[in-house]
Amino acid sequence: MIKMPAQVLATAAFSLLPLLAAAPAHAQAPAEVLTLTDAIEQLPLAAESRDGYERTKFKHWVDADKDSCNTRQEVLEAESLVPVTVEAGCKVVAGEWYSYYDGVTLTAPGGLDIDHMVPLAEAWDSGASQWTPVRREAYANDLGAERSLVAVTAKTNRSKADQDPSTWLPPLADAHCTYAADWVSTKLRWGLTVDTPEADALTELASDCGQQPVEYEPAATAGK
């Protein structure tokens, strides 16, 4: 066996310290990827209750990163197919958006709503009633997952209102599989439950697109 001098070993160890310091203390867990069929089976089943719900209990369209752009403007900028035109106060005034619910393309943001994939009232019914105000605010302004918030035509968003897939689906039939995956992904991300009619509707959708991929990362637990 070849023995290295102690001084050489000490120097080598010292040289590794910057690398060790630079390494993250906890590696971020990879996103979960499931088929739609398997993802639906992961959703906990529970009865829903809207007791105590008020929309104001979900503070939304905040400027969480203090860059002068609220959540609505951030989504408009992120989802535009072309560079957006922005006026003072981070007001997005032009771009190009594809509303996948109905297959409509718009260039003026006034015709768009930012839809909570799982509506605030539905989230309340499904577990958010037990959250802290901080967590409800995080949910209502979730920019950490592309599926949580989506720019769609105001007409379709208001038609959807607070309904789940048992009573409302996008008018564009080709959007149903994507919509089901986005819905399930959001519920899994935030640990929300489903009731029986909702689970049945999702299972029926999966009969046509059960291999549709569902990808999600659990939301941070701070403020739960």
DSSP single-letter state for residue 110:
G
pLDDT of residue 32: 87
Distance between CA atoms of residues 189 and 218, nearest Å: 4
Cα 92 to chain center, whole Å? Answer: 21
Residue 171 in domain = yes
Q: How many CB atoms lie within 10 A of CB 58?
A: 23
Rounded to an integer, the average pLDDT of 94-107 is 98
Residue 176 in domain = yes
Cα 181 to chain center, whole Å? Answer: 11
* Furthest C-alpha separation in the chain: 77
Pairing of strands 91-94, 85-87: antiparallel
Residue 35 pairs with which residues in a beta bridge? 213
**Whole domain around residue 131: which residue ranges?**
33-216
Q: How many CB atoms lie within 10 A of CB 203?
A: 15
Lowest mean pLDDT among 25-39, 105-119, 164-178: 25-39
Residue 7 in domain = no
Residue 22 in domain = no
Number of domains in the chain: 1
Residue 126 in domain = yes
Distance between CA atoms of residues 112 and 107, nearest Å: 10
Rounded to an integer, the average pLDDT of 44-72 is 97
Candidates 54, 214, 201, 78; CA nearest to 140 is 54
Residue 19 in domain = no
Residue 221 in domain = no
Q: What is the pLDDT of residues 164-190, one digit of tens each?
A: 999 999 999 999 999 999 999 999 999
Residue 222 in domain = no
